[in-house]
Amino acid sequence: MTNVVNKNETYTGQVIDFTHEGHGVVKFDRFPIFVPNAIKDETIEFKVIKVKKQFAIGKLLTIKEKSQDRIEAPCEYYKECGGCQLQHLSYTAQLEMKKEQVVNLFQRKSHFEDTVINNTIGMENPWHYRNKSQIPVQKNRQGEIELGFYRQRSHTLVDINHCMIQDKKHDQIMNKLRTMLEQLNMNIYNEQKHKGELRHIILRSGYYTEDTMIIFVTNTKQLSHKNKIIDYITNEFENVVSIKHNINQEKSNVIMGKTSYTIYGKDTIEDQLAEYQFKISDTSFYQINPQQTEKLYNKALEYAQLDGEQTVIDAYCGIGTIGTYMSQKAKHVYGVEIVEEAIKNAEENAKINHVENATWEAGKAEDIILKWKKEGIKPEVVMVDPPRKGCDQTFIETLIELSPKRIVYISCNPATQVRDVEILKEAGYNLKEITPVDMFPHTTHVETVALIEKN
């Protein structure tokens, strides 16, 4: 069989679409060639570097006709660093592309033609939005300590001094910590050998408060130079209210281990969303873009259409943020979350925010929802916000048996969301409306909130 394209040969073609990874798609005889950095509507010259049965990969050589949406990426590390993928695309085009991906998934690949798909809700200033920086620490060949982010599809670091999407405070902390680690001659983890000590440094900050937490993740049970580290940080930084030591001895890509100790200050940091205060532990999930979180939750609340009479379930509730938002307009909120520490935060957060009509339970959503069903709890509205893999099959089955009038489904992975909504459709639910919200500007991640109603 002759190939449509051959490896190492050069071709010219028009980019007709984007993949979900933000790569341009050129098609010859319906055979797709994915070309990183190419933009829809551009005519490009590219070299084929890989040919597979179903697709090929191309390397962009020259742009013959440039898209109006192409811009100069403002970050000096953009070409090397794998943290952002879309800085060469204007922000307006990024928002359109994210909507287009939702349209593709729900209306072209599935059959939700009657669903209203709104424009992506973007940020006014889409920079420095990340309140959490997970920074790998490595030693380079010269023995120097590097802090930065991984190159695309690799585990080697780009040593960086600043990042345009993380909280500005984090640049300064990261740079000073690099100097501190050099001065202490810190033992750094070697991933290939699974030996050594310090693996990651995680910085978490409040957006509306100045609180910062620094977490040292080690492959060892001890954190060397602990007291010197605490002295250095407390002398250098005013707003660090908590320093943690987390132990991760697993040989895996998971960043944090299960055991954490507070080695200085508080166990939590605080942040504010709308008029509510939230305490956040190191192991608890908290949305990484608080400005957009308010817009996301407001949309979710609008979709929930509460008038004070409804019993509501907040499934996959984290530290109880959405549940707290809904409690003002609900009769009672039941929240469930798998991370026990997050449920402790949710209980404390309810007290701080004077929420008296909420019950929080730690456990798997699929188990607890079944227990609630057996106890006779009948929700009119269910809010779900699962991790990337989507909802568990048994969770959806119980949800269907509970038969709520309305389901509001927040997702950070529309591919699993569409799969789950298909099952709900079979069971008599109608996907009325979806709104993409840009929680992760300059990256290819798409977040959506969907309104699903019983027919």
Q: Which is nearer to ligand SAM, 24 or 386 (CB)?
A: 386
Q: Which is nearer to ligand SAM, 145 or 343 (CB)?
A: 343
* 336 binds ligand SAM, rule: CB under 6 A: yes
Cβ at position 410, least distance to ligand SAM in Å: 7
Residues 77, 85: Cα–Cα separation, whole Å = 11
Q: Which is nearer to ligand SAM, 83 or 318 (CB)?
A: 318
Nearest by Cα to 418 from 94, 114, 104: 104
By beta-carbon distance, which residue lies closest to ligand SAM? Answer: 318
- Sign (positive or negative) of CA dihedral 336, 342, 343, 349: negative
* 337 binds ligand SAM, rule: CB under 6 A: yes
Residues 210, 241: Cα–Cα separation, whole Å = 9
- Residues 253-278: b if buried by 16+ CB within 10 A, e if exposed: eeebbeebebbbbebbbbbebeebbb
DSSP-derived 3-state class of residue 364: coil
Question: In sequence order, what E strands does 256-389 have?
Answer: 259-265, 268-273, 276-281, 311-315, 332-337, 358-362, 381-384
Cβ at position 387, least distance to ligand SAM in Å: 5
Out of 126, 318, 414, 441, the residue judged to bind ligand SAM by CB under 6 A: 318
Out of 63, 71, 184, 339, the residue judged to bind ligand SAM by CB under 6 A: 339
Cβ at position 28, least distance to ligand SAM in Å: 39
Q: How many residues bind ligand SAM (CB under 6 A)?
A: 20
Q: Which is nearer to ligand SAM, 74 or 387 (CB)?
A: 387
Out of 321, 324, 327, 353, the residue judged to bind ligand SAM by CB under 6 A: 321
* 322 binds ligand SAM, rule: CB under 6 A: yes
Phi, psi (5° rounding) for residue 169? -60, -30
Q: For this structure, is 163 an active site residue? A: no
**What is the DSSP annotation of 157-194?**
EEE-S--SSB-HHHHHHHHHHHHHHHHHT--B-BTTTT
Mark the binding-site residues for S-adenosyl-L-methionine, compressed into ranges.
287, 316, 337, 385
Q: Which is nearer to ligand SAM, 58 or 386 (CB)?
A: 386
Residue 231 DSSP label: H
Give CA angle at 223 (264, 260), nearest 5°: 60
Nearest by Cα to 415 from 440, 396, 390, 451: 390
For the chain, the first-to-last Cα distance in angstroms comes to 51
82 neighbors 154 (Cβ within 8 angstroms):
yes
Phi, psi (5° rounding) for residue 390? 85, -165
DSSP-derived 3-state class of residue 267: coil
Cβ at position 85, least distance to ligand SAM in Å: 21
Phi, psi (5° rounding) for residue 281? -85, 165
Cβ at position 311, least distance to ligand SAM in Å: 18
Q: Which is nearer to ligand SAM, 285 or 429 (CB)?
A: 285
Q: Which is nearer to ligand SAM, 78 or 285 (CB)?
A: 285
Cβ at position 197, least distance to ligand SAM in Å: 27
Catalytic residue, from 75, 81, 391, 412: name it. 412
Q: Which is nearer to ligand SAM, 201 or 317 (CB)?
A: 317
Cβ at position 260, least distance to ligand SAM in Å: 15
Q: How far is CA 307 from the centre of its chain?
A: 31
Give the pair of three-digit tokens for residue 45.
């010259």
Residues 255, 233: Cα–Cα separation, whole Å = 22
* 342 binds ligand SAM, rule: CB under 6 A: yes
Considering only the stretches 159-167, 183-191, 259-267, 318-326, report the one whose residues sit in contact with ligand SAM under the rule CB under 6 A.
318-326
Q: Could you give the string, one character per residue 264-303, with x where binding to ligand SAM holds by CB under 6 A and - elsewhere? A: ---------------------xxx----------------
Subset of 360-379 contacting ligand SAM (CB under 6 A): 364-365
Subset of 90-109 contacting ligand SAM (CB under 6 A): none
- Sign (positive or negative) of CA dihedral 262, 266, 271, 276: positive
Cβ at position 312, least distance to ligand SAM in Å: 13
Considering only the stretches 88-96, 108-116, 336-344, 431-439, report the one whose residues sit in contact with ligand SAM under the rule CB under 6 A.
336-344
Mark the binding-site residues, compressed into ranges.
287, 316, 337, 385
Residues 18, 60: Cα–Cα separation, whole Å = 14
Subset of 401-430 contacting ligand SAM (CB under 6 A): 412
Q: What is the binding site for ligand SAM (CB under 6 A)?
A: 285-287, 316-318, 321-322, 336-339, 342, 364-365, 385-387, 392, 412
**Looking at the annotation, which residues are catalytic?**
412
